[in-house]
Amino acid sequence: MSRDLSLAEIFQMGYYWETKILLTAVKLDIFSALDGHGDSPAGLARRLSLDERALTLLVNALVAMRVLTKREGLVANTGVARKHLVNTSPDYVGHLLALHDSEWANWGKLEETVRTGVAPVRRHVFENDPAMGANVLAVLDRVGRGSGMSLAKSLRLNGREHMVDVGGGVGTNAIALCRAYPHLKATVFDLPQTLRVTERYVRDAGLEDRIALRPGNFHTDAWGGPYDLALLSDVLHYQNRRANARLVRNAFAHVTGAGRLLIKDRFLDPDRTSPAWTTAFAVHILVNTEQGECFTTGEVMEWMTQAGFESVTEFAPGAMVQGIKPGGGTDGLESGLRRHDKGGGHG
Ligand SMILES: C[S@@+](CC[C@H](N)C(=O)[O-])C[C@H]1O[C@@H](n2cnc3c(N)ncnc32)[C@H](O)[C@@H]1O
């Protein structure tokens, strides 16, 4: 059994001041303004049209938090701020922090949401603020660069398939898979506003001839195909159960016999009280989507079975679920899958 929390830990959990100080500094782009040279709070306030007294207090706290330094009245970025918080740096993560800041007001309505069950938003960030959504996807693509590669390794495709990455974002998974399998073809299906950014990623990867972009709404528009593999990665938690069961049925209709559906998401354990990060993420989803939720792999496996998929398994325990559509021959894909099922792991 885990030990009781201490009072200090309870206070720590209830303490969000530093969080909002950092998010506000990112929103005001203070770190970019200090790039290359230190400045006095007065000079910085003048350049950014901010209130000098208020900015001085904010900056002092940022110095104490070790994202800025202050010497002889001049404030400057620390190394980590230069690398991750200056908006021209290739390692900038401010877009993600800015998203958190923009969701602050929704978090403020958590009490009301818990009282009424009604979320404060009608649509999610990718629909409400495509530029922000796309920038966030770009940061996630960079910080999670390894995940597409490990997915590629674990899949063991025969390499000649055509896959669809539904809600594929900037193409993180499609690009990783196409790099791993030189004859694989992919379609990234996503909202038109997201695909505007995806286009650049696919071009930079030199994969325009193998990765097609198909704009549309995955609830209402046809996905093209049929495909040998459909991937839904980090997409389910934006919808409720009914919409997800429909998405899974839609995937069934869009894959060939012996084709498969892979679903990757932030799943809760069966008792829904772990992993800890996901339980908090579920609350984040509660206030930042209209009807989104986090699910268990058991629920997803049930939707797959109901849709007609067979050999429905946890492809990666607690992280990925796979189902195979019955039919088709014992071609490379199917026999590859059978071998894989026997192996029982996910590489
Ligand atoms: C969290 S991102 C996941 C991106 C990618 N699959 C990954 O794993 O990195 C969710 C994606 O779903 C897309 N999306 C959300 N609602 C959609 C809809 N109704 N139709 C098509 N795409 C949608 C968003 O534009 C976004 O790219």
C-alpha radius of gyration, the chain, whole number: 23
CATH number at residue 29: 1.10.10.10
How much distance in Å is there from the Cα of 322 to the middle of ligand 1? 19
**More reliable by pLDDT, 139 or 341:** 139
Q: What's the rounded mean pLDDT across residues 248-260?
A: 96
Note whether 204 and 300 are same-domain residues: yes
Query: What DSSP character marks residue 180?
Result: H
Does a structural domain hold residue 247? yes
Q: What is the pLDDT of residues 128-172, one digit of tens each?
A: 888 888 888 888 887 777 778 888 888 888 878 999 999 999 999
Q: How far is the CA of 167 from the centre of ligand 1 (A)?
A: 3
Do 158 and 293 sit in the same domain of this protein? yes
Q: Which residue has the tokens 């990765």?
A: 211
Atom of ligand 1 nearest to the CA of 168: 6
Same domain, 156 and 269: yes
User: For residue 16, what pLDDT band results from cuts at 50, 70 and 90?
Assistant: very high
Q: How many A from CA of 216 to the centre of ligand 1?
A: 11
Same domain, yes or no: 176 and 78: no
> pLDDT tens digits, residue range 210-241?
999 999 999 999 999 999 999 999 999 999 99
Domain of 292, in residue numbers? 127-343
- DSSP letters spanning 181-203: STT-EEEEEE-HHHHHHHHHHHH
Residues 134 and 265 grouped into a single domain: yes
> Among the three residues 53, 86, 119, which one is the final residue of a domain in this structure?
86
Q: Is the CB of 218 under 6 A from ligand 1?
A: yes
pLDDT at 148: 82
Contacts of 223 (CB under 8 A, 6+ apart): 164, 166, 187, 189, 214, 216, 230, 250, 254
Residue 100 lies in a domain: no
Which of residues 86, 118, 148 is at a domain's end?
86
Determine the pLDDT at residue 1: 61
Based on the domain organization, do 253 and 152 belong to the same domain? yes
Is there a single domain that holds both residue 165 and residue 313?
yes
Residue 110, in any domain of the structure: no
Give the lowest-confidence range in 43-47, 192-196, 212-216.
192-196
- Ligand 1 atom nearest residue 130's Cα: 25
Q: How far is CA 176 from the centre of its chain?
A: 16
Provide the number of structural domains found in the chain.
2
DSSP class per residue in 50-112: --HHHHHHHHHHHHHTTSEEEETTEEEE-HHHHHHTSTTSTT--HHHHHHHHHTHHHHTTHHH
Residue 212: beta bridge partners?
187
Q: Is there a domain that residue 109 lies in?
A: no
Whether 64 and 160 share a structural domain: no
Q: What are the CA-CA distances from residue 19 to residues 25, 48, 153 (Å)? A: 10, 21, 37
Residue 34 pLDDT? 98
201 vs 134, more confident = 201
**Same domain? 167 vs 279:** yes
* For ligand 1, mutation pick of 165, 194, 195 (most atoms within 8 Å of CB): 194
> Distance (Å, rounded) from C-alpha 157 to C-alpha 63?
51
Strand order across the 310-316 sheet: 211-215, 185-190, 162-166, 227-233, 255-264, 320-324, 310-316
Q: Is 168 in the pocket of ligand 1 (CB under 6 A)?
A: yes
Residue 268 DSSP class: B
pLDDT in tens, 266-283: 999 999 999 999 999 999
Q: How far apart are CA 18 and CA 202, in angstroms?
A: 38
* Residue 94, domain member (yes or no): no
234 and 338 inside one domain: yes
The torsion defined by the Cα of 316, 320, 325 and 329, in degrees rounded to 10, comes to: -40
Mean pLDDT of the chain: 91
**Closest C-alpha residue for ligand 1 atom 19:** 217
What is residue 136's DSSP assignment? H
Q: 307-331, pLDDT tens digit by residue?
A: 999 999 999 888 999 999 998 754 4
Residue range 243-252: average pLDDT? Answer: 97
Q: What's the angle, vertex CA 173, arms to CA 235 and CA 242, rounded to 5? A: 15
Q: Which CATH number fits the domain that encloses residue 189?
A: 3.40.50.150
